[in-house]
Amino acid sequence: MTLTTHALVGAAAASLFPEHPYLAFAAGFASHFAIDAIPHWDYGEYLRSFSEKPGEPLSADMRMGKDFYRDLAVITADSLLGFVLTFVAAWILNVSPEIALVGAGAGLYPDLLQFVYFKIKKTRFEPAMANLQLFHAWVQEGKDSTQWGWRKGLGMQALLVLAVFAVLKILP
């Protein structure tokens, strides 16, 4: 999934707990894994600095250099779009922007932690981070549908976001 999709679904999940920011965070965080379990397209194949040995998710990394900064710009733009659209989501879902932002941030958090793991593998935090990384990889295993191409992939994610918002608007 793209980061924009994770942010919007995270904001939507958080809207279920408008008076409870900790539960809103937990819902946004959990939403990340829930939607990663759905077959999806993401732009991972277009990231030039990313490397991973097949079948070894703990070997993943993003190599520093010119390509890294290009990839960082793509990732940052995707995240910023997600946060900007979170304000629209808050309005549509009739929830405070603060709760929507908590959910959006929590929806992105697993991917941020994944990047942090790439860079700090050999620290005292490694066992816990490795377990989260393995869980994240397991959830996504076989779900990347790169054959869809970016048009169909983004279209499917837009439909997912619309469906989530529609369901939440129907709920009392």
Model pLDDT, residue 124: 65
Q: What is the pLDDT of residues 112-152, one digit of tens each?
A: 988 888 877 766 667 788 888 889 888 887 666 666 777 88
How big, in percent rounded to 5, are the helix, strand and coil portions of the chain?
70, 10, 20
- pTM score, two decimals? 0.88
Model pLDDT, residue 15: 95
21 lies in which domain range? 3-170
Burial class (CB in 10 A: 0-12, 13-18, 19+), 101: buried
- List, for the chain, all residue ranges whose pLDDT scores fall below the cut of 70: 122-125, 142-147, 172
Per the structure, how many domains does the chain have? 1
Model pLDDT, residue 128: 80
**Structure tokens belonging to residue 141:** 């295993």
